[in-house]
Amino acid sequence: MIVKILRNVTGAVVVAADLLTRWSRVKRSAQGQAKVADSTKSMKLYHFLGCPFCVKTRRAMYKLNLPIETRSASQGSPHRESLLNGGGKVKVPCLHIQHDDGKEEWMYESKSIIQYLNSQFADIK
């Protein structure tokens, strides 16, 4: 019980610190942002609100100005079940990518997700 309360309080502090210290977003042309929006339609980020690694990943998405759908994988969430069924485990952050050829990719590590997003979207102007 005490551990759960401590975890929730710490999570709230991490989220508040994130909101207070965000960087500015990448500025793109309307065409560039439309291209990014089209490319990210096939992506979903499964996360927990107060998870530090999820916060790190969401910060990178914010900085890159990526409109990726976020889905809470908290206990009792219907998205938790789709994360388990699709990716095979309830571990966050998880970026689900539905490729054009029909293949699905479930990327789990925040560092890997951020590297992937930077490689795909950082140079689009």
Place of tokens 């079940």: 81
Print the domain residue range for 91: 2-121
The phi and psi torsions of 10 (rounded to 5 degrees) equal: -60, -40
End-to-end CA distance of the chain: 49
CATH number of the domain within which 81 lies: 3.40.30.10
What is the number of domains present in the chain?
1
What is the distance between the alpha carbons of residues 68 and 52, in angstroms, rounded to a whole number?
18
Model's pTM, two decimal places? 0.88
Per-residue pLDDT tens digits for 33-64: 999 999 999 999 999 988 999 999 999 999 99
Per-residue pLDDT tens digits for 63-83: 999 999 999 999 889 999 999
Exposed e or buried b for every residue in 2-15, given b needs 16+ CB within 10 A?
A: eeeeeeeeebeebb
